[in-house]
Amino acid sequence: MSTGLNPAAAGGPISRGFLPNEEFAQYKALLFMLAWRDIRVRYKQSIMGFAWAILMPVLIIGSGLIVMIAFSTISGRPLNKLDVLSVAVKSVPWAFFVGAIRFATNSLIMNKELVTKIYFPREILPLASVLANLFDFLVAGAVLAVVLLVARVGASVYLLWVPFLLLLLILLSAGLAILLACANLFFRDVKYLVEVALTYGIFFTPVFYSASTLGRLGILLSLNPVGPILEGLRDVIILQRSPNLPWLAYSASWALVGFLASWKIFQRAESSFAESV
């Protein structure tokens, strides 16, 4: 289905710099519809229903706890409440990141029928996967908020950072999602590489511990652009202090440049999706 001027029109690469309003509204509706479909199908199939959204974060927090107990046993430093809550605050967005990337990578392949039979901007597919995982994230986030309230973590002015930090995380995920979905369409082994990277990624990301505990090696951990965002969330929610601005700027540039570059690459490759999938 295509509306208005057909993008197949020009001989050059498909360009959709500015969409007419009607078309934009249509594709926005499609984005939400496909995200709704993914959510609906997931919750319909599982007996657990909404518990599904919490399962992944709970598992990650659980493993985080074990790692921390091990640390404290070795170092002799007792486990404190804030450390545990920090792990929780970082695990939930990490679970979103992992879920979004995993689903988005397969999104074009899984919707082969749509890619080969119907026209619409293909970015919608990986973006819908990110959006569907964002829904899970919101469910898990709401539960986390209750936990934090019960644990008497107070509010501070620094909480105003939260929307911005989440936006960065979403932008970073979306950029990577678009790029990997596209790569996976042409090279089917990309999804295995992604799977491996996501499984071990948690050790290269400050989720269970903060970058600072590694001393100078911590910088390496922060080079992972997800790191400063997670640390930032912990700073503003648990420690109630300003995030590390230079590192955050570093992540932000990754998110922004990454997203734009991925989109550009995606649009370049898009015209050959239907015959390559």
Partner 1 sequence: MSNHAIEFNGVWKKFSRGEKFDSLRDLIPSAAKLLFSRKQRDLDDKEFWALRDVSFRVGHGDALGIIGPNGSGKSTALKLLSGILKANKGNLRVKGRSSTLIELGAGFHPDLTGRENIYLNGTILGMKRTEIDQKFDEIVEFSELKDFLDTPVKRYSSGMHARLGFAVAAHVNPEVLIIDEVLSVGDYHFQEKCFGKMQEFVRKGATLVFVSHNLAAISTLCKNVLVLRCGVPVFQGQVSLGIQKYHSFYEEETKSFAIELLDVRLLSEHREERDVFEPGARAYFEIHLKAVKQIRGAHVGLQIHTADGQLVFVTATSQLTNTKLNLAVGETARISFSLDMNIHGNVFLLGLVVTPEIEIPGEWLYYNPRLKRIIMTDSRKSQGFLHMNPAVDVRLDSETQGVGSVKFG
Judged by phi (left if over 0) then psi (alpha if -120 to 50, else beta), residue 152 lies in: left
Structure tokens at 226: 């997800």
Please, what is the angle between helix 124-150 and helix 51-75, to 10°?
Answer: 60
Please, what is the minimum distance in Å from the beta carbon of residue 18 to partner 1? 17
What's phi and psi for 271, nearest 5 deg?
Answer: -65, -20
Please, what is the minimum distance in Å from the beta carbon of residue 170 to partner 1? 23
Please, what is the minimum distance in Å from the beta carbon of residue 55 to partner 1? 20
CB 134 within 8 A of CB 105: no
Q: Which is nearer to partner 1, 124 or 171 (CB)?
A: 124
Q: Which is nearer to partner 1, 113 or 157 (CB)?
A: 113
Binding footprint of partner 1 on the chain (CB under 8 A): 1-11, 14, 25-26, 29-30, 33, 37, 40-41, 44-45, 113-120, 186-190, 193, 271-272, 274-276
Please, what is the minimum distance in Å from the beta carbon of residue 176 to partner 1? 17
Q: Which is nearer to partner 1, 8 or 146 (CB)?
A: 8
Q: Which is nearer to partner 1, 43 or 158 (CB)?
A: 43
Q: How far apart are the C-alpha atoms of 63 and 77, rounded to whole Å?
A: 19
Identify the DSSP state of 243.
-
Please, what is the minimum distance in Å from the beta carbon of residue 107 to partner 1? 14
Q: Which is nearer to partner 1, 81 or 188 (CB)?
A: 188
Nearest partner of 165 among 227, 209, 218, judged by Cα: 227
